[in-house]
């Protein structure tokens, strides 16, 4: 049972409410996941939500969540016939996030055949322009590949990218500076 | 001096009195009125199938034409009630086959219905007209074939979200050519493909068909064929709403929808191809109900659609609508009464759409008739709840699900006690409430104090101790159904408020620290109430009395302990023993 005895008179317990990567309702054990070297460059405080976007071992955390998901039976309270509707029939879905936006979209990479097509949808998704004239911020598309490395989008041929990409993040240029240097590639395609 | 007028006159007067509440009042006037009333009551509603039994029902009401029965507790929808729990329709249909040969209507919810039951319905009731099975299970398409083949005057067959063993779609072909009486057909929950030509012929020969809800396998291309044959449709549910882009299909659809001048409600919309959404634009201005809760369309498409539905009263939609879409809803749909927003990706901790508390706030601001809300979101604040409470004082149902259990006010990190407190204080007509988020006992104090008309309360991962439960049980005067999971409520509040349980339909508690000993005590104390311990670990007698039970279901009843319990349910008897 959730131990609220530490909540104190005011009912406020910041530790209790600190957002972690645990499952909904699980006892809070703090940030347990391991972080990688590059996580500083991609670790973001996203607006008001205060959520930490922990990448790096994000993928292994997700797997853990998926298998231990069943711990919390019947929560959230969604009926079975609604759950089934959303099963993705096909496609390679990756999460696309934007700096400063508190949500992520799932995009099916199989719908696109080139970087041009893929990158052109970004602005529709999240109303963020590549170049924001107001504050001169430039967004750089980056992605996490199969090996967990964060790379700049456009370094490898589209197909190779689509196969190895796990998630995409539009970073501000300043954030992207700390990224690993580009690996050697047989042929490089333009990134836009 | 007592004057009385002939029975026939009273019967005639009573024929205008429809509601159970009024009929019950009539029956209490005097013995002769009780007698007259019970002979002319035609409809009975049984909210808990174990609260009475068929014999009692038949003994009191010998001439029933319409029966509505509910079985499993609501939390069965979320897999909290173990398989094999009960709720069998069989004993009812057996008894009614003998006693009510003139039975016309059966409506069931969360009951187990076998093919045998369906066969019995088909063969026993000559005038059978209406079969509605909502969230039922236990039958197959063979049973449906039997109904189709034998019910000569069938008007309604509605399978609403039931779990059907789908052997094939062939059952639909069992409707004889002579069947022309169908007014309502809902097969949306079925997976198999039905024979389309049989469906088309059926629709063609039923001139009174008002409601038709297809299943996912009926392709979009076939819709025009059906719609032109059913111009009287008031409610229509599509199948999969996708096809390759073909201009002639689009124009056929447009014409077909336009031909249904009486269309008020649309649903279905699986696998939507956005290019085909404009086909329904001609009917949008007449729509009062739109169910897009299976539609994987994004906010811009939803906005284009919803902004044309100025007469919308009910919208069910996925959170793809986002705050921006809800803003438009608030601006365009001033007659909105009911909003349900379902999560597209409920198990992901991270949000996948930009839907927040703000969307609900906008709707509460823009839609003065808002009465009924079901809202899944990932964050909430007390401030937002204050605003919603202020904007929507006429709320009747408010069900909020913040996806992360125990999530606090995201702005202040405080519990959401004050926010929900504002809801119950301002919304004086509130009848149903579901709580979520981080909540202390304080919220229950507010609820006990203000929620005087509350009939159903759902609580999960909330509260600090028995005091919370005590506030609810002692304060909520109208409480009929209480369902609780994973809360630190134990024995004290239950034992102190045992008498309250006799005034309620039912109480469900699971994963709460209620001891076996307390259950035994309740069983002793309470008369005409069943105290059922559900425990799949084996008999609770094998553990100390202080051991917590897994699940508890307490309900009032006239028919004594159940005789059909599975081996994981123990009924506490009046001697403080466990009879099993």
pLDDT at B20 exceeding the cut of 90: yes
Quick one: pLDDT band at residue A169, thresholds 50, 70, 90?
confident
Give chain A's count of helices (H) and strands (E): 7, 6
Instruction: Select the more confidently predicted residue: A188 or B16.
Output: B16
Query: Residue A74 and residue B401: Cβ atoms within 8 Å?
Result: no
- The residues, ordered by sequence, that sit 6+ positions from B352 with a Cβ below 8 Å of its Cβ are A95, A103, A104, A105, A106, B344, B345
**Distance separating alpha carbons of residues B506 and B74, to the nearest angstrom:** 10
CA distance B20 to B41: 9
Among the residues of B427-558, which ranges form H helices? 441-450, 466-475, 491-496, 498-501, 516-525
Rounded to 5 degrees, φ, ψ at B363 are -65, -40
Please say whether the beta carbons of B446 and B472 come within 8 A: no
Interface of A with B in 130-169 (CB under 8 A): none
DSSP, residue by residue, A59-122: HHHHHHHHHHGGGSTT-S---HHHHHHT---SS-EEEEEETT-S-EEEEEGGG-SSHHHHHHHH
Least confident of A121-130, A155-164, B121-130: A121-130
Q: Tell me: the pLDDT tens digits for B528-575?
A: 999 999 999 999 999 999 999 999 999 999 999 999 999 999 999 877
Mark yes or no for CB contact A11/B442 under 8 Å. Answer: yes
A-chain residues within 8 Å CB-CB of B75? Answer: 74
State the Cα–Cα distance between residues A24 and A68, nearest whole angstrom: 11
> Which B residues 229-258 touch A at CB under 8 Å?
none
Query: Residue B201's pLDDT is what?
Result: 96
Whether A49 and B410 lie within 8 Å, measured CB to CB: yes
Question: In angstroms, rounded to a whole number, what is the distance separating the alpha carbons of residues B36 and B38?
Answer: 6
Cβ contacts of B376 on chain A, cutoff 8 Å: 76, 78
A181 compared with B62, residue with greater pLDDT: B62
Find, in chain A, the residue whose alpha carbon is nearest to that of B164: A81
| CB within 8 Å: A77 and B406 | no
In this prediction the ipTM stands at 0.91
Name the nearest CA neighbour of B483 among B417, B423, B402, B553: B553
Q: By the CB < 8 Å criterion, does A95 face chain B?
A: yes
A159 Ramachandran zone, left/alpha/beta (phi>0; psi -120 to 50): alpha
A167-181, B121-135, B559-573: least confidently modelled range: A167-181
**CB–CB of B342 and A12 under 8 A?**
no
pTM: 0.81
Which residue shows structure tokens 């299970």? B137
The residue-averaged pLDDT of B236-263 equals 95
**What local confidence, expressed as pLDDT, does residue A72 receive?**
85
Compute the distance between CA of residue B169 and CA of residue B182 in angstroms, rounded to an integer.
18
Give the pLDDT of residue A170. Answer: 81
Model pLDDT for residues B69-108, shown as the tens digit of each residue: 999 999 999 999 999 999 999 999 999 999 999 999 999 9
The answer to whether A88 faces chain B, any CB pair under 8 Å, is no
| Structure-token pair, residue A180 | 């690993």
Distance CA B501, CA B553 (A): 11
* Look-up of token digits 């998901």: A69
User: Residue B472: is its pLDDT beyond 80?
Assistant: yes
* Residue B461 contacts residue B451 (beta carbons within 8 Å): no
Q: In chain B, which residues have their Cβ closer than 8 Å to the Cβ of A104?
A: 350-352
User: Distances from the Cα of A190 to the Cαs of A83, A138, A153, in angstroms?
Assistant: 40, 17, 9
Nearest-CA distance from B463 to chain A in Å? 9
Q: Report the relative pairing of strands B163-165 and B184-186 from DSSP bridges.
A: unpaired
Angle, helices B7-14/B31-40, rounded to nearest 10 degrees: 60
3 state SS of B159: coil
Partners of A45 in the β-ladder: A52
> What percentage of chain B reaches a pLDDT higher than 70?
98
**Are the beta carbons of B79 and A7 separated by less than 8 Å?**
no
- Strand, coil or helix: what is B136? coil
B347 interfacial to chain A (CB closer than 8 Å): yes
**Phi, psi (rounded to 5 degrees) for A26:** -75, 150
Does A105 touch chain B if contact means CB atoms closer than 8 Å? Answer: yes
Taking the C-alpha atoms of residue B323 and residue B80, their distance in angstroms, rounded to an integer, is 32
Mutate to test the interface with B, among A4, A15, A75, A107 (most CBs of B within 10 A): A75
Lowest mean pLDDT among A57-66, B22-31, B434-443, B471-480: A57-66
Token pair recorded at residue B297 = 């369309």
The Cα of A119 is separated from the nearest Cα of chain B by a number of Å equal to 18
Distance separating alpha carbons of residues A62 and A66, to the nearest angstrom = 6
pLDDT of residue B289: 98
What average pLDDT does chain B have?
95
Give the least confident one: A58-67, A113-122, A147-156.
A58-67
* pLDDT confidence of residue A32: 37
Task: Kindly indicate the confidence band of residue A86, based on its pLDDT and cuts at 50, 70 and 90.
Answer: low
Q: For B347-373, what is each residue's pLDDT tens digit?
A: 887 888 999 999 999 999 999 999 999
At B318, phi and psi to the nearest 5?
-85, 165
User: Rounded to a whole number, what is the distance in Å from the CA of B261 to chain A's nearest CA?
Assistant: 30
Helix (H, G, I), strand (E, B) or coil at B300: helix
Q: What is the pLDDT of residue A3?
A: 41
Confidence of residue A118 (pLDDT cuts 50, 70, 90): confident
Task: Render pLDDT for B292-336 as a digit per residue (tens, 0 to 9).
Answer: 999 999 999 999 999 999 999 999 999 999 999 999 999 999 999
pLDDT at site B199:
96
- Report helix, strand or coil for B39: helix
Q: Taking residues A85-112, what's their average pLDDT?
A: 70
Does position A28 have pLDDT exceeding 70, yes or no?
Answer: no
Q: What is the mean pLDDT of residues B128-155?
A: 97
CA distance to B448, B450, B502, per residue, from B499 (Å) = 16, 21, 6
Domains of chain B: 1-41 (1.20.1280.50), 496-579 (no CATH)
Residues of chain B with Cβ-Cβ distance to A82 below 8 Å are: 293-294, 342
Q: A10 pLDDT band (50/70/90 cuts)?
A: very low
CA distance B168 to B251: 32
Convert B381-396 into a string of H (helix), E (strand) and C (coil): CHHHHHHHHHHCCCCC
Work out the average pLDDT over A67-91.
Answer: 69
pLDDT of the residue at B75? 97
**Backbone angles phi and psi of A123, in degrees to 5:** -65, -30
Segment 415-454 of chain B within 8 Å of chain A by CB? 415, 417, 438, 440, 442
Chain A residues closer than 8 Å to B460 by CB: 75, 77
Banded model confidence at residue A102, pLDDT cuts 50, 70, 90: low
Spell out a b/e string for B17-30, using b for 16 or more CB atoms within 10 Å of the CB, else e.
eeeeeebeebbeee
Q: How confident is the model at residue A137 (pLDDT cuts 50, 70, 90)?
A: low
For residue B420, the chain A residues in CB contact (below 8 A) are none
* Least confident stretch, A81-90, B43-52, B118-127, B508-517: A81-90
> What value does the mean pLDDT of chain A take?
59
CA pair distance B346, B433, nearest whole angstrom: 21
């Amino acid at each position: 049972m959730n131990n609220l005895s530490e909540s104190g008179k005011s009912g406020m317990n910041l530790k209790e409410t600190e957002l972690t990567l645990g499952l909904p309702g699980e006892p809070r054990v703090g940030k347990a996941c391991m972080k990688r070297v590059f996580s500083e460059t991609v670790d973001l405080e996203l607006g008001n939500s205060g959520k930490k976007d922990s990448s790096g071992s994000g993928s292994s955390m997700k797997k853990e969540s998926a298998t231990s998901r069943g711990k919390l039976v019947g929560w959230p309270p969604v009926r079975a016939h609604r759950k089934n509707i959303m099963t993705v029939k096909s496609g390679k879905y990756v999460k696309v996030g934007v700096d400063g936006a508190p949500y992520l979209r799932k995009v099916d990479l199989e719908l696109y055949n080139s970087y041009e097509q893929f990158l052109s949808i970004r602005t529709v998704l999240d109303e963020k322009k590549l170049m924001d004239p107001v504050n001169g911020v430039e967004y750089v598309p980056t992605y996490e590949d199969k090996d967990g490395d964060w790379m700049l989008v456009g370094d490898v041929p589209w197909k190779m990218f689509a196969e190895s990409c796990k998630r995409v993040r539009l970073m501000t240029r300043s954030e992207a500076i700390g990224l690993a240097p580009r690996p050697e590639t047989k042929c490089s395609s333009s990134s836009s | 001096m007592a004057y009385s007028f002939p029975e026939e006159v009273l019967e005639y007067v009573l024929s205008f009195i429809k509601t159970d509440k009024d009929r019950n009042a009539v029956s209490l006037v005097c013995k002769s009125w009780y007698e007259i009333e019970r002979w002319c009551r035609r409809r009975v509603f049984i909210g808990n199938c174990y609260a009475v039994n068929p014999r009692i029902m038949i003994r009191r009401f010998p001439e029933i034409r319409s029966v509505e029965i509910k079985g499993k507790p609501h939390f069965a929808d979320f897999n909290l009630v173990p398989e094999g729990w009960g709720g069998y329709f069989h004993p009812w249909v057996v008894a009614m086959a003998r006693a009510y040969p003139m039975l016309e209507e059966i409506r069931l919810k969360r009951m187990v219905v076998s093919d045998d039951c369906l066969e019995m319905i088909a063969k026993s009731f000559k005038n059978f007209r209406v079969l509605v099975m909502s969230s039922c299970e236990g039958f197959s398409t063979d049973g449906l074939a039997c109904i189709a083949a034998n019910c000569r005057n069938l008007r309604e067959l509605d399978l609403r979200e039931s779990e059907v063993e789908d052997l094939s779609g062939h059952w639909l072909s069992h409707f004889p050519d002579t069947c022309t009486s169908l007014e309502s057909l809902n097969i949306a929950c079925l997976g198999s493909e039905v024979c389309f030509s049989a469906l088309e012929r059926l629709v063609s020969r039923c001139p009174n068909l008002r409601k038709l809800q297809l299943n996912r396998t009926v392709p979009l291309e076939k819709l025009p064929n059906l719609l032109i044959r059913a111009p009287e449709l008031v409610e229509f549910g599509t199948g999969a709403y996708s096809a390759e882009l073909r201009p002639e299909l689009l124009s056929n659809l447009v014409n077909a929808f336009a031909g249904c001048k009486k269309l008020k409600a649309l649903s279905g919309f699986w696998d939507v191809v956005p290019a085909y959404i404009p086909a329904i634009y001609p009917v949008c201005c007449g729509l009062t109900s739109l169910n897009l809760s299976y539609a994987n369309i994004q906010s811009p498409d939803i906005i284009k659609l919803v902004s044309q539905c100025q007469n919308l009263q009910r919208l069910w939609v996925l959170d793809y609508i986002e705050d921006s879409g809800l803003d438009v809803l608030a601006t365009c749909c001033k007659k909105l009464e009911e909003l349900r927003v379902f999560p597209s990706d409920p198990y992901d901790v991270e949000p996948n759409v930009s839907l927040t508390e703000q969307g609900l706030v906008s709707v509460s601001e823009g839609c003065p008739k808002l009465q009924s809300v079901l809202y899944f979101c990932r964050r909430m604040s007390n401030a937002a709840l204050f605003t919603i409470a202020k904007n929507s004082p006429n709320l009747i149902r408010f069900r909020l699900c913040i996806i992360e259990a125990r999530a606090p006010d995201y702005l202040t990190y405080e519990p959401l006690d004050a926010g929900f407190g504002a809801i119950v204080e301002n919304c004086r007509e509130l009848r149903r409430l579901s709580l979520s988020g981080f909540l202390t006992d304080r919220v229950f104090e507010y609820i006990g104090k203000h929620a005087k008309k509350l009939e159903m309360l759902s609580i999960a991962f909330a509260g600090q101790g028995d005091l919370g439960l005590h506030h609810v049980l002692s304060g909520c005067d109208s409480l009929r159904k209480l369902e609780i999971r994973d809360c630190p409520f134990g024995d004290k509040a239950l034992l102190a408020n045992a008498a309250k349980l006799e005034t309620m339909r039912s109480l469900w508690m699971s994963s709460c620290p209620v001891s076996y000993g307390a259950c035994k005590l309740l069983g002793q104390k309470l008369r005409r109430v069943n105290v059922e311990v559900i425990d799949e670990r084996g008999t609770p007698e094998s553990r100390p009395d202080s051991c917590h039970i897994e699940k508890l279901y307490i309900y009032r009843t006239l028919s004594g302990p159940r005789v059909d319990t599975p081996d994981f349910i123990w009924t506490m008897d009046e001697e403080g023993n466990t009879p099993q």
